[in-house]
Structures are given as structure tokens and as C-alpha cells.
Amino acid sequence: MPVERGSLDLPRKPGVYLFKRKDGRVMYVGKATEIRTRVSSYFSGSDGRRMVPLLIEEADEIDFIVTKSPSEALFLERNLIREHKPKYNSRLKDDKSYPFISLTAEEFPRILYTRHPPDGSRSWGPFPDAGAAKRVIQLLRVEFGIRDKDCRGGDGCLAMHIGLCKGPCYNPEGYPGVVKAVTDVLDGNAKILIESLQNDMDKASEDLNYERAAGIRDMIASVHSTLSQQIIHSRFYQDCDAIGFSSLGDSAVVIILHAKDGVVQGKTEYPLIHRGDISESVSLVLVEHYANRRPPKVLLLPSPIGDSMEKWLRFRRGGSLISRVPRRGDLFKLRKMADRNAEILVSRSERSSSGNLEQRAANEGAKLLGVDSLNHIVCFDMAQLMGSERVGASIVFKNGRPSKKEYRTYKIKGESADDLSMMRESVLRWLKRQNEWPDILLLDGGETHLSTINTVLKECGMDDKFIVAALAKREETLYIQGRAPIILDRRGRVLIHSRDEAHRFVNQFHSRRRRKGSIRDPLEEVEGLGAKKIQSLLRHFGGRKGIEHASIDELRAVPGIGISMAKKIQNHFEN
């Protein structure tokens, strides 16, 4: 069945989205700065690619993985495409690889900016922001003097003479310390380097050398930017699953992010009922997940799972297994990314279940009354004050929720001031405009209201179209013709809610009408006299007193006032 736009509930976060079939096959992987907006564009008709209608037709669901930034999404998209080889990603225009920062495996390692790290080298990245990676290499050379040339170490070079290289030509014994300092920075421990740069920036500012201070500030930003890009890819992600957890009340989601060969390759999600113990909930999911598959070498957990669970996992793996609750570093970043995805899914589940509460209330009401459905309810209520401003209103509930675009108000035109006559008039006017009949017509009132409206419907030949009921406020008693009165309990809450909403809506309309009537100009009561003519009269006579005492000829002198209107105005003030 083709995926439908209305069934989607996607986050407003950066990440990747995956169009999938029922059998789990990934049809397409895309990246997005905001997943919901990007996926919505596929259904808007604005995307001119020929594959889009075919993709929507073939896909049965749309999955997603949230990332910390759009740059992470860029690289994760590439990893997932390589892993799943989706049908509609087969013609990517940009197939270049992203750059790495590498340290060669030589006796005196060199630092390289490369898209193809040499064999045996230690590498960091890849980095979607290539410019930031280059700036970091430049900074590391300036600060530590790590070499980048394949020199023989005999004659020196320009880099050595200007302080950019402290390799074998300069100090071969001290060079391993240089390599270690650079390695520490690339592993994320850049505190010493950044503090040094901040001191240099402060000194430049004190010396009023603001241009140099701004350059150092940009260099600090490059270090932060480059080191923050290494969440999706890491040399530590060789064979591990990161377990993410989030809960809202009794609802929880456990996410398992799968990482292998240094990259995140996908996720599996498990919604569950959570009873307060995170370790218990996570263990339940792990047993389910690894019952028919081999656990990875490393498990990254939100909390310890206990010895017995670890023994079972080692048994399933058939070898050693490391379970960790990481607190820092790359593995911690990966596990936190799993948490972020779990948080979004549990929030989405909560929104979905809250929508189902209304539907559940409608279903329970239908079961209480012994009918097939209460998914369409129309409820009437009346309001007046001592015979003035007589109004009625009808509200509509669809699937247990208010459908406010179908709310209607009625200004009573007849002379009768009793509720029964007012309701009769309102229902008759409603009947004339209906193309769709409700499951139940609910009245705010008792047996007398029910009898009156049943008579109206019978006269119109509509007595068999829908159920008619009246709900009296006293003890919440529901009356239906031919049945014993029902005192509603929690199962009838959708009917009580409908009646209360109708009462609120008609009183709001009545209050608005009263306020409007209290400030109405007396001249508005003259039939055919609109705002522009009233304005002309007031301007001509300087106020209502002048109009009140004006003769027919004086009134006719006002632009737009003829003899007929002049007589109406004079009669109005005389009477």
C-alpha cells in the first residue's frame, strides 16, 4: 500500500530519512536539514524528479535517523546508501569521498589531508567541511611542528626554517612527543590547544591587534567544528550497537543503532510499556533483539544490565563481549545520538496515543449505547437573556474530537422565546443544509426537548436517519425514545464533552451578541440605514440631537437620504 502523507509524523530535526517497503528493503535514502519539511516536499508535487511518484507508490513506510547536525546527516546518508544500495539512489551525481586527516605509519609520521588514507595510517574523519579540516592541519603544524613532507631528514627544508616542522631534521628524539600531542587533539582532547589559542587571542586584543585576534577566534571555531564532525564515523565503531532509551510515563522506546567498520549503518526501534526500571526495560529488548541474531563485540548501554544478562549475551555471541556505559568520547557521542532518536520516537508515540484517547472515548460511547459508531456527533444548545438576544448553536465532534470548521450559530427569527421553539427553529434550519447525517443528534435538555425534536424530524421524514438523544445535566441522564434513561459514567464521556462544548460555544456567541447590542447606534434600527448614511447624517447635523429634531426637508438635504428614508428616520424618533 503506498505511503500516505497524512500517516506521517516526522521530527523537525536534521537527519536522514529512508523510504522502505514492508519487507524492510530500503528504496531511497535522503538527507535533510529538517526531516519533516523535506519529506513533505515529496507529496507537494513541487519535486520534478520522475522517480518521486514511483517512490511514493512503492514505499510502505518512511523511517528516519536524527543526527546532531546537517553535516552529520550528509555523511550518514552516504554510509546508508553504501550499506543498503537503494533502488532510487543508484544515480547519485556527486560520488566523491570526503576527506580524512591521517597520520602515516612511518618512523616519523606525517600529517596528511587526503580522501584515500594510506595503508596502516591512523585516520580521523571523514569531514564534510573540508575547509575546516585544512585549517586544523595548518593549526597543528603551527602549534606543534608536525611534518607534512616526505623529507629524508638530512638537509632541512623551508618548513623547518620557518617553524612549521620539528621533524627528524630538527629534533628526532622529541618528535614522538609532537605526534602524541597531535593525536590527543584529533582524539578530541583539544583543551590545552584551545586554551593556548585563547591566551594568544586575549594578548592580541590587549595589543589592539584586532585583526590577529579575529583570525585566532576563527581558528578556535575551526577546531571545534572539525572535532564535532566525527560522530557518525569513528575508528572506535568497529562492531558495536548503541542502545538509546527514552520514556514518558508508562510509554518508552528503546533504539539500537548498529555501527560496523567505523560507520553507523542503521537502527532498530522497540516501543514498550515501561515500569520504571531502565535496566529491566533495556534487558527485555536485548533478549528480544538478540534471540535470533549474533550480538556485536561491544554494547553501549544507558545503564548496567547485570551479570546474568551479560552471560546470556556472551553465550549468544559465542565469544567475548564488552558492555559499557560510556561517559565521554566517541562512544558516548554515539550512545547519546541513540538517546536523541529514542526521545523523538517516544514523543511521537505519545502524540499518537493522545489522539487515540478521543477515538477510544467515541468507541466506548458507541458500545455503551449499543450502536456501531459515535464518530460523528452533532449537539444543539440554546441561550437567551429575558427574551433578548435569542440564539442557538450546533457543534460537531468527529472521531471524538471537536470539528470546529463545522460549528454553526443561529440567530432566532421567530417570535417564541421558549427554549423548545428556539431549538425547533435551529434544528429545522440545520436540516435544510445537511448533506451528511450524524450518528447521533444530541440535545442539551430532557425528555420534553427529545419529544419536540422527534416530532420535528417525523414531520420532515427524517426520523429514521440518525439517533436522537437529550442529555440532562442533572445526574448526566441520557434520554433516547423507546429506551430507559441512562445515567452516564466514564464510558459516556464523549457525549458529556459534546454537550459541554455546545454549552460553551452558544454562551460565547450569546455574550458576543449582547456586547454588540449594548453599543449599537439607535439609528442602526432604521431599516435600510447603513453605516455610511449614518455618518453623513451625523456630519451634517453635528450629532443625534440635530437628527432627532430635523424636518423631512432638512433630512432630505443630506447626501444619500431620499424622501422615503427621511420619513423612516422621522417615524423612528417619533415612536
CATH (domain of 512): 3.30.420.340
In a domain, 359, yes or no: no
Supply the pLDDT for residue 197: 73
Residues 245 and 332 in one domain: yes
- Specify the pLDDT at position 149: 72
Among 17-31, 95-109, 180-194, 276-290, the range with the most confident prediction by mean pLDDT is 17-31
Q: Do the domain assignments include residue 566?
A: yes
Co-location of 463 and 399 in the same domain? yes
My answer on whether 394 and 510 are in the same domain is yes
Q: Are residues 473 and 421 in the same domain?
A: yes
- From first CA to last CA, the distance across the chain in angstroms is 73
Lowest mean pLDDT among 90-99, 283-292, 480-489, 535-544: 90-99
Q: Are residues 123 and 151 in the same domain?
A: yes
The whole-number pLDDT of residue 480 equals 93
- Do 80 and 104 have their domain in common? no
Sign of CA dihedral 359, 363, 369, 374: positive
Provide mean pLDDT across the span 268-297.
80
In the listed set 517, 533, 556, which residue is the last one of a domain according to the structure? 517
Strand pairing class (388-398; 408-411): antiparallel
Q: Is the pLDDT of residue 190 over 70?
A: no
Is 232 within the bounds of a domain?
no
User: Would the pLDDT of 297 be above 80?
Assistant: yes
- DSSP annotation of 389 reads E
pTM: 0.38
Residue 365 placed within a domain: no
Q: For the residues 436-450, what does the mean pLDDT come to?
A: 92
Beta bridge partners of 254: 245, 270
Q: Tell me: do 408 and 530 sit in the same domain.
A: no
Average confidence (pLDDT) over 2-20: 83
Residue 244, domain CATH: 3.30.420.10
Asked whether residue 511 carries a pLDDT value surpassing 70, the answer given is: yes
Tell me if 73 is assigned to some domain: yes
Q: Which of 333, 348, 363 is the last residue of a domain?
A: 348
Is residue 514 very low, low, confident or very high in pLDDT (cuts 50, 70, 90)? low
CA angle (114 as vertex; 112, 117 as ends), nearest 5: 90
Which CATH number belongs to the domain containing residue 570 in this structure? 1.10.150.20
Statement: residue 154 has pLDDT above 60: no
Residue ranges making up the domain that contains 29: 5-89
pLDDT-above-90 percentage for the chain: 15
Residue 234 falls inside a structural domain: no
- Does the pLDDT of residue 3 top 50, yes or no? yes
* Residue 393 and residue 511 in one domain: yes
Per mean pLDDT, which range of 123-137, 297-311, 428-442, 443-457 is the poorest? 123-137
- For 245, other C-beta atoms within 10 Å of its C-beta total 25
pLDDT for res 572: 81
Which residue did the predictor score with more confidence, 475 or 64?
A: 64
In a domain, 366, yes or no: no
Domain end, chosen from 197, 227, 257, is at: 227
Helix residue ranges, H only, 16-151: 35-40, 51-58, 70-84, 130-144
More confident residue, 311 or 261: 311
**Cα–Cα distances in angstroms (integers) from residue 428 to residues 219, 387, 472, in the given order:** 76, 21, 22
Q: Are 44 and 109 in a shared domain?
A: no
CA of 125: how far to CAs of 106, 133, 149, 186, 187, in Å? 20, 9, 21, 9, 11
The verdict on 382 and 401 lying in the same domain is: yes
Taking 70 as the threshold, does the pLDDT of residue 108 lie above it?
Answer: yes
**Average pLDDT over every residue of 3-8:** 73
Q: Which residue has the higher pLDDT, 520 or 256?
A: 256
Classify strands 15-20 and 61-66 as parallel, antiparallel or unpaired.
antiparallel
pLDDT at 441 over 60: yes
- Tell me the CATH number at 32: 3.40.1440.10
pLDDT of 362 over the 60 cut: yes
* 362 occurs within a structural domain: no
Q: What percent of the chain has pLDDT over 70?
A: 83
Number of domains in the chain: 5
Least confident segment among 395-409, 498-512, 515-529, 557-571: 515-529
Angstrom distance (rounded) from CA 148 to CA 393: 81
The confidence score (pLDDT) of residue 93 equals: 34
Residue 495 scores a pLDDT above 90: yes
pLDDT over 70 (residue 478): yes
Whether residues 139 and 52 share a domain: the answer is no
CA neighbor of 437 nearest in space, from 375, 376, 494, 359 = 376
Mean pLDDT computed over every residue of the chain: 80
What's the chain's length in residues? 575
Task: Return the top range by mean pLDDT from 57-61, 142-146, 215-219.
Answer: 57-61
Give pLDDT tens digits for 371-406. Answer: 888 989 999 998 876 556 788 899 999 988 899 889
Model pLDDT, residue 91: 41
What is the rounded average pLDDT of the residues 65-71? 81
Residue 199 and residue 175 share a domain: yes
